[in-house]
C-alpha cells in the first residue's frame, strides 16, 4: 500500500477547488493498492468532501485548532473538521511553523486533539537547510518527534510526513537514497513512542519525473505532494506513475 496525499495549500479558490475535485472524479485509480487523500482549503473542504463521497479520495484539513469551541476568532477545531467528514489533518507543516510561528507545544496539542476524536493526524517534520548543513538534522527531527511523548498512540492511526524545509517548493528535491536513510532513522526513533508501524511519507518538490525514485524504496510509504497536486495534469501524472509499480 502506498500513500499519495495532495496538499492544495492556498493555491486554489472555492470554484477552482471544486473544478479540480470533479475532474479527479472522472479518473479511475487503483484503490486496492493506493491510499489517496487531498487537503483543500477550509473554505472549500465541505464541498470537496461531498463531491468525493464514495470516491477513491479521502479529504483532510490543512490545519486545525486544538480547542473544541469557544471565543477563538478565526479558529476551526479538529472536531468541526471531523463533523463535516474530514478523515485526516495536517499537523505541524513547516509553513505553519516557520511563517505562522507554531511551536512544538502547539503541534503536540493539535495532535492530541486529533487523536482523541479519531481524526487521523499527519505529523509533518523536517529540517531547515542550515540545520542540515550544520549536521543538526537528527537533532531537529528528534525534537519535532518528541511531541509524541505521553500521547496515547495505541490502536490510533497516525502518519508522519518527512518534508525537508529546504526542498519544499524549491525544486531541490532530497536525493531519494538520502531520503530513505532519513526514513529508516525516523522509523527507529518512532519506536520510542509506539510499538506499531507508522507510515512515513516523503514531501518536498515531488513531481511525476521523480516520484518513482521515492515510492520504489521500501522505507518510503508514499508522498505528500504540494503545488503539483493543485493541478489536474501533474497530480494525475504522479498517481499514474505510482500505479505502474504497485
Residue 27 confidence (pLDDT) = 95
Q: What is the rounded distance in angstroms from the CA atom of residue 157 to the CA atom of residue 75?
A: 24
Confidence (pLDDT) at 15: 98
* Segment holding 225, helix H or strand E: strand 222-225
Of 146, 143, 77, the C-alpha closest to 110 is 77
Residues 202, 124 contacting (CB under 8 angstroms) = no
pLDDT given for residue 169 in this prediction: 78
Hey, is 122 helix, strand or coil? Answer: strand
Structural domains of the chain in order of their starting residue, each with its CATH number: 2-243 (3.20.20.70)
Question: What's the pTM value of the predicted model, to 2 decimals?
Answer: 0.96
Kindly give the parts of the chain with pLDDT less than 70.
none
3-class state of residue 204 by DSSP: coil
**Closest C-alpha to 121, from 92, 150, 85:** 92
- pLDDT for the residue 173: 86
Positive or negative: CA dihedral 158, 159, 163, 168: negative
Q: Which residues are the active-site residues?
A: 93, 163
pLDDT of the residue at 64 = 98
Amino acid at each position: 500500500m502506498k500513500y499519495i496525499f495532495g496538499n492544495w495549500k492556498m493555491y486554489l479558490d472555492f470554484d477552482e477547488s471544486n473544478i479540480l475535485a470533479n475532474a479527479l472524479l472522472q479518473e479511475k485509480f487503483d484503490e486496492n493498492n493506493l491510499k489517496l487523500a487531498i487537503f483543500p482549503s477550509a473554505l472549500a473542504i465541505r464541498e470537496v468532501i461531498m463531491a468525493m463521497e464514495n470516491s477513491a479520495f479521502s479529504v483532510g484539513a490543512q490545519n486545525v485548532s486544538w480547542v473544541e469551541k469557544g471565543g477563538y476568532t478565526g479558529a476551526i477545531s479538529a472536531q468541526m473538521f471531523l463533523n463535516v467528514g474530514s478523515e485526516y489533518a495536517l499537523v505541524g507543516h513547516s509553513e505553519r511553523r516557520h511563517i505562522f510561528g507554531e511551536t512544538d507545544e502547539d503541534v503536540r496539542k493539535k495532535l492530541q486533539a486529533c487523536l482523541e476524536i479519531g481524526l487521523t493526524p499527519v505529523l509533518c517534520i523536517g529540517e531547515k537547510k542550515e540545520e542540515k548543513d550544520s549536521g543538526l538534522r537528527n537533532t531537529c527531527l528528534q525534537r519535532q518527534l518528541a511531541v509524541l511523548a505521553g500521547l496515547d498512540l495505541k490502536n490510533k492511526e497516525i502518519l508522519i510526513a518527512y518534508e525537508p524545509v529546504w526542498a519544499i517548493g524549491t525544486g531541490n528535491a532530497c536525493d531519494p537514497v538520502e531520503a530513505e536513510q532519513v526514513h529508516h532513522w525516523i522509523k527507529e526513533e518512532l519506536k520510542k513512542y509506539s510499538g506499531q508501524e507508522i507510515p512515513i511519507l516523503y514531501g518536498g518538490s515531488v513531481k511525476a519525473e521523480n516520484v518513482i525514485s521515492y515510492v520504489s524504496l521500501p522505507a518510503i510509504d508514499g508522498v505528500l505532494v504540494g503545488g503539483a497536486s493543485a493541478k489536474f495534469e501533474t497530480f494525475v501524472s504522479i498517481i499514474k506513475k505510482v500505479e505502474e509499480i504497485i
